[in-house]
Amino acid sequence: MIRGDKPSGYFQTHDGRGIKVEGESRQCGHCQFIWEYKPGSGRRYGLCTSCKCMTCARDECKADQLEKRAIIWHEDGKNYDCVPFDEWNYRLMNKAAHTTGTIGKDFLMNDSGIVIPRPD
Ligand SMILES: [Zn+2]
Ligand SMILES: [Zn+2]
């Protein structure tokens, strides 16, 4: 994960007239949203004081953070200031590793992914 105000990536493209355009991008540490970094654009972003990541400050990202924090509070009784993307994925991976079931009986796998039947 890229922390602080450092470029997350660089890009190179061409505009409608074929002129090469280069720039750098930033990535949100909470939701992985990527945007072009333009100093002086007036667009405001955040720097999370908890995980020290740049954040996109989009409403859907803020809502997603609230939801993830509420889930962790509900499941573990722990209150975090934020849930970085990497940590949420690690949490899901740990959960999946401790889930037991039989393919075909407890869940199915098809082209759209894993299908888990609703509890009765
Ligand atoms: Zn975000
Ligand atoms: Zn954070």
**Taking ligand 1, which is a single-atom ion, which protein residues have CB atoms under 5 Å away?**
28, 30-31, 33, 56, 61
- d(CA 52, ligand 2 centre) in Å: 6
Q: Are 78 and 71 in contact (CB under 8 A)?
A: no
Q: Where are the beta strands (DSSP E) in 1-120?
A: 9-14, 20-27, 34-36, 46-47, 54-55, 108-110, 113-115
Q: Cα–Cα distance between 73 and 28 in angstroms, integer?
A: 23
- d(CA 53, ligand 2 centre) in Å: 6
Predicted TM-score of the model (pTM) = 0.71
- d(CA 26, ligand 1 centre) in Å: 11
Task: Going residue by residue through the chain, which has 120 residues, state the pLDDT in tens, using 9 for 90 and above.
Answer: 555 567 788 999 999 999 999 999 999 999 999 998 888 888 878 889 999 998 998 999 999 999 999 999 999 999 999 999 999 999 988 888 787 777 777 778 788 887 877 777
Q: Cα–Cα distance between 82 and 30 in angstroms, integer?
A: 8
The pLDDT of residue 4: 55
The angle at the Cα of 75, spanning 95 to 47, to the nearest 5 degrees, equals 85
- d(CA 104, ligand 1 centre) in Å: 36
The pLDDT of residue 5: 66
Q: Which residues, 6+ apart, have CB-to-CB distance to 110 below 8 Å? A: none
